[in-house]
Chains A and B, each alone.
Chain A
């Protein structure tokens, strides 16, 4: 069981420099071939600063926590027992290659289901463009933790 006393624990902020190569790799991975997502000239022509990040990229920046999955270990959650439950993303702005982004994470709640066989750890993250401190996204992430019956 996740210790409820951990609710309110925070991680970060961490800073991510968004690289063209990573965005091209992500586009390849998700099968996104439209030029604004892979070609800088096309992105400029469409009015973007550089190659555009897919909408779900804001979520990917949560994985850039320099501690990796360490935050799960700090909460006593074994990696092999997690499943992604839900994801909610409020989008305020685009992310483009060259952006410097700041990311935070807080454990907002722990929800017990099925008599304790399943728990949801609720994390909230703010994703902010360091240029002008502009909010990019607010993400709520629910990780399901399967406990032995």
Chain B
């Protein structure tokens, strides 16, 4: 069985600078067509300086980091809070750290705390996943 200890990090994932093209692709692929993310005039009309990232794209990034470490089939539970807005050109890094082992008394079940921050260290997303390590 793969063993982990509290405090073990998972490999981090740093993304390219966020582009408007990525937001357009994500709107199409996800089906989330809310114009705040793809129409700068609409976003400005709503009081924002520019379009901004879909929260769930940030979630997809932390999940990419997580599922590069363990198959998504291992994941039972994923919970995220969207803490701050991300604008184009920001550079994001997804990280994770084992925060609990033997969750629910299951020897191979662990909790991984997940975060997404920009290059200035501003936290964008905080959350966790509960998963079963391969036995």
Q: Which residues of A come within 8 Å of B, CB atoms? A: 22, 25-32, 34, 52, 54-56, 59-61, 63-64, 68-69, 79-91, 94
Chain A residues, CB < 8 A from B4: none
Q: Which residue of chain A has its CB nearest to the CB of B75?
A: A91
Interface residues of B in 4-29 (CB under 8 A from A): 15-16, 22, 25-26, 28-29
Across the interface, name the chain A residue whose C-beta is closest to B54.
A84
Known pairs A83-B82, A94-B72 / 15 extra A-B pairs, C-beta < 8 Å? A29-B28, A31-B15, A54-B60, A55-B63, A56-B60, A56-B78, A80-B42, A81-B46, A84-B82, A86-B82, A87-B82, A88-B77, A88-B78, A88-B79, A94-B73
The count of residues in chain B whose C-beta lies closer than 8 Å to any C-beta of chain A is 40
In the complex, 19 of the A-B residue pairs with CB atoms within 8 angstroms, ordered by the A residue number, are: A25-B28, A25-B29, A26-B30, A30-B26, A30-B61, A54-B60, A54-B63, A55-B63, A55-B72, A56-B56, A63-B31, A69-B34, A80-B47, A83-B85, A84-B55, A84-B82, A86-B80, A87-B80, A87-B82
> Using Cβ atoms and an 8 Å threshold, which residues of chain A touch B29?
22, 25-30, 60
- Establish whether residues A86 and B77, one from each chain, have CB atoms under 8 Å apart when the complex forms: no
Q: When the two chains form their complex, are residues A91 and B57 in contact, meaning their CB atoms are under 8 A apart?
A: no
**Chain A's nearest CB lies how many Å from the CB of B67?**
6
Q: How many Å from the CB of B40 to the closest CB on chain A?
A: 13
B122 part of interface (Cβ distance < 8 Å):
no
**A82 CB contact (under 8 Å) in B25, B33, B34, B61:** B34
- CB-based contact A30/B78 at 8 Å: no
B residues lining the A interface (CB < 8 Å)? 15-16, 22, 25-26, 28-36, 42, 45-47, 54-57, 59-61, 63-64, 67-68, 72-73, 75-82, 85
Query: Closest approach, in angstroms, between the C-beta of B43 and any C-beta of chain A?
Result: 8
Q: For B77, give its contact among A31, A61, A90 (CB under 8 Å).
A: A90
User: In the complex, what residues of B have CB within 8 A of residue A94's CB?
Assistant: 72-73
Q: Are B34 and A29 in contact (CB under 8 A)?
A: no
- Name the residue on B nearest A60 (C-beta): B30
Query: Looking at the complex, which one of B35, B60, B78 makes contact with A79 (CB distance below 8 Å)?
Result: B35
In the complex, the chain A residue whose C-beta lies closest to that of B47 is A80
Nearest CB in chain B: distance from A88 CB, A: 4
CB-contact partner of B78 in A26, A34, A83, A89, under 8 A: A89
